[in-house]
Structure 1
């Protein structure tokens, strides 16, 4: 059923160490440039939101820059490293492929480890570039529910946002009928529109590694304590990913067999 870019013969040319490095660097680029854009927008607006909800900062144009900064970075990183590791750069994507048996448990474990390491290194670099202003004003790009948004609302938002992303991944990069030439563009667009909507709700995450690293590093650097929100940005995307992957597999099998 699933003869796809994640199982292409040329991926077999790369050993797990190279795939690990590709996922680490790809996730590093995504988190550095994405959260860097968020911190930059916060510094431009120069308004500190105690909840750390970057999506509440400034006007819509600033948030568009952040959300599409993530989308465009994901697009280029996927095209850069897709031929090596498939370009997951997101633990939620890897888990979705794991539950549909498109990646082995061993490879998935190493991918997820690489993604979290890459994300933490990226946040440390954001800290080194922006300094304490990035911590105190931009919260290093950390996610949190927006003003007036409940914990449950934020959780549901992250589930739906990740659902869209993984549904697109399954449709353009996993399904055997997909056109492999457009998969990076389609995934980047899915990330961009998802984060545009989620901006005022959660700050836009849909990636457990991206959600984890700024919250942890910002807290350790003396910023706002957002640890209570970690489950939203780790568990929420995983749930959305699993639902999307299993649903698409069911739909695709029904239509293609």
Structure 2
């Protein structure tokens, strides 16, 4: 059976990223709507009042979306649904440059469509929550935020390399392993940077929030580009060195 063409694989990435952002950031929007009115602070309401139990629920929502999409499209596109993952696989010689560019464009489109869908369903209420946009929390510096995103994405990419990329890994468990490490990342660092780990996941809410008259967070976007990409690159190259993955694939 031949591999699907680039367009079909890119569409799978668009759908996968759409589901990730809709369910993941949608859980943030729902959480904030449940707590607003009693714990809202103007200008920062989207990340106020989210306690550890709520972060756990948000982490599980992201995990379920990722697990489902890996099992739905893993055999079609690989389910990167994350520009940092596509870049790391390209940098380690596993992914052609033209495919990487196409994947990233479709991932960004999927993430944006998901955020606009949330606005279409909930209207201005959703925009007022920040649409699940990631941002530095109080007391966190720009450098600390980049480091946080890099470390958390390192864990994600390391898990991807060991459970999905390395052909010696036990079959059938990649989706569960990857989804759970994302949930753990969100639970632990969600209250520091929002735990993006994914430039597309941040891009969608930023774009919709900005165009719908919400808060302009674009000045923080470099955090969610540099941190995830650096973390993914370090993990991919380190895994290849330690596990000698290329020699065994």
TM-score range, shorter chain: over 0.9
Residue number in structure 2 paired with 1:21? 11
Residue number in structure 2 paired with 1:98? 90
- CA 26–38 in structure 1, closer or farther in 2 if over 3 Å, else same: same
Q: Distance in 2 between matches of 1:254 and 1:102?
A: 11
Contact 2:239 2:245 in 1 (8 A): no
1:236 pairs with 2:227: yes
Q: Distance in 1 between matches of 2:207 and 2:226?
A: 16
Q: Give, in angstroms, the shift of residue 13 of structure 1.
A: 2.3
Residue number in structure 2 paired with 1:5? none
Question: Which deviations, in whole Å up to 9, do the C-alpha atoms of 1:52-107 show, x marking residues without a partner?
Answer: 58454332211211121111111111110001101111111111111111111111
Residue number in structure 2 paired with 1:183? 174
- CA 219–186 in structure 1, closer or farther in 2 if over 3 Å, else same: same
1:210 pairs with 2:201: yes
- CA 56–102 in structure 1, closer or farther in 2 if over 3 Å, else same: farther
Residue number in structure 2 paired with 1:122? 114
Q: Distance in 2 between matches of 1:86 and 1:256?
A: 21
Q: Secondary structure at the match of 1:181?
A: coil
Q: Secondary structure at the match of 2:156?
A: helix
Q: Give, in angstroms, the shift of residue 212 of structure 1.
A: 1.1
Please report the TM-score for the alignment, with normalisation by the length of structure 2: 0.93
Question: Which deviations, in whole Å up to 9, do the C-alpha atoms of 1:199-239 show, x marking residues without a partner?
Answer: 11011100000111111211221111211110011121011
Please report the TM-score for the alignment, with normalisation by the length of structure 1: 0.91
- Identify unmatched segments of 5+ residues in structure 2: none
Contact 2:13 2:81 in 1 (8 A): yes
1:79 pairs with 2:71: yes
Q: Secondary structure at the match of 1:85?
A: coil
Contact 1:52 1:144 in 2 (8 A): no
- CA 216–236 in structure 1, closer or farther in 2 if over 3 Å, else same: same
Residue number in structure 2 paired with 1:252? 243
Q: Distance in 1 between matches of 2:6 and 2:31?
A: 37
| 1:31 counterpart (14, 21, 36) | 21
- CA 93–232 in structure 1, closer or farther in 2 if over 3 Å, else same: same
Query: How many aligned residue pairs are there?
Result: 246
- Identify unmatched segments of 5+ residues in structure 1: 1-9
Residue number in structure 2 paired with 1:3? none
